[in-house]
Amino acid sequence: MDSKAGKLFRIALASIIALLFLVPLFWMLATSFKNDFEAITSGIQWLPQEFTFENYLYSLADVPVLRWMSNSLFVGITGTLLVVVVDTLAAYGLARLDVPFKKVLISMFIGSLMIPWVITFLPLYMEFNQFGLLDTYAVLILPYTANAFGVFLLYQYFRGFPKSLEEAAHLDGANKWQVFTKVVLPSAKPTIWTLAIFTFMGIYNDFLWPLVTTTSPEMRTITTGIAVMQQGSFVSSPGKLMALTSIATIPAVLLFIIGQRSFIKGVTQTGIK
């Protein structure tokens, strides 16, 4: 059925396409080790003629890049924890417990998934402005907690969880909270993990919201901090700019390679079928 030539052709094609994905990243790395003069004038030079670490030293010393990365990590992790806890509780309550007005709440939450975020963008800004919370961690974390995606995802999971297991625990004298934490939660781990990965990536990579709600250099996230540098003092300094982006990119890429298996599993799990 499948000829050897066909197989080779497909591998060759796949390799060429792989180069299209990798070359820009490699070019970023290569440039980050060149001085600005060489970067601008030397043309196609895959490896630097004069290998220099100066760009990295400069970026680490004169730009709060480590602070920005810690901000991004802190905001991403705190936000994710908050979302996971709050969403899991709500989803379980709606799926299994006698919550009043359950039907109304469920349709309201699911309906909210249809609403584009651009609707809340400016009024949310004004809300935080009124509370004097712009340029704080609160403004970088709290807005993400309203997203109903996780409630919906876990609600579906809990609905499919065998009721008999919970009932058995109830008969043994466990209360709601014990049933939830001892019986239901452990089995929900993979779904919760999926929600955590999606939430973290969403917060970590968000651009416009942190861009308009933070103003002081020490409150920037890595994404917005780099953008400000690109538009500002690094505009004509490709070597330094590429060192900065490399510093930001390498941990993300490594984490991604490690975590992609759970991520891909998660994609399957979100019920996109």
Partner 1 sequence: MKKRNWKSAFTSSLFVLPYLFFFTIFLLIPIIYGIWISMHNWDLLSPEHEFVGLGNYQKIFNPDSYLNGLFFDGLLNTFQFVIYSVPILVVVGLALALLVNSLPDRFKGFFRTTYFLSYSVSVSVVAIIWLWVLDTNSGLINQYLMKLGLQGIPWLTNMPWAWVSLVIATVWWTIGFNMVILINALNDVSEELYEASALDGANRWQRLIHVTLPSIRPVMLFVLITSTIASFNVYGQPYLMTRGGPGDSTKVLLMNIVDEAFEQRQLGTSAAMSLLMALIMIIISVVQFKLTKEKE
Residues 45-84 that bind partner 1 (CB under 8 A): none
| Binding residue for partner 1, selected from 60, 81, 99, 183, defined by CB under 8 A | 99
Q: Is 258 in the site for partner 1 (CB under 8 A)?
A: no
3-state secondary structure of 116: coil
Indicate whether 156 belongs to the interface with partner 1 (CB under 8 A): no
Q: How far is the CB of 219 from partner 1 (least distance, A)?
A: 16
Q: Distance between CA 134 and CA 154 in Å, rounded?
A: 32
Least Å distance between CB 238 and partner 1? 6
| Binding span for partner 1 by CB under 8 A among 16-24, 161-169, 181-189, 191-199 | 16-24
Please report how many Cα atoms fall inside a 13 Å half-sphere around the Cα of residue 220, on the Cβ side.
19
Give CA–CA dist 190/177, Å, rounded: 20
131 half-sphere exposure, CB direction, 13 A CA radius: 13
Q: What is the DSSP string of 136-200?
A: SHHHHHGGGGG--HHHHHHHHHHHHS-HHHHHHHHHTT--HHHIIIIIIHHHTHHHHHHHHHHHH
Selected range binding partner 1 among 47-55, 144-152, 165-173, 188-196, rule: CB under 8 A = 144-152
Stretch that binds partner 1, among 48-56, 111-119, 164-172, 182-190 (CB under 8 A): 111-119
According to CB under 8 A, which one of 33, 79, 143, 184 is a site residue for partner 1?
143
Cα separations in angstroms, 233 against 206, 236, 248: 23, 8, 18
Name the token pair of 143. Answer: 């807005």
**Least separation, in Å, of the C-beta of 168 and partner 1?**
19
Q: Is residue 5 at the binding interface for partner 1, with CB under 8 A as the rule? A: no
Q: Least distance in Å: CB of 53 to partner 1? A: 19
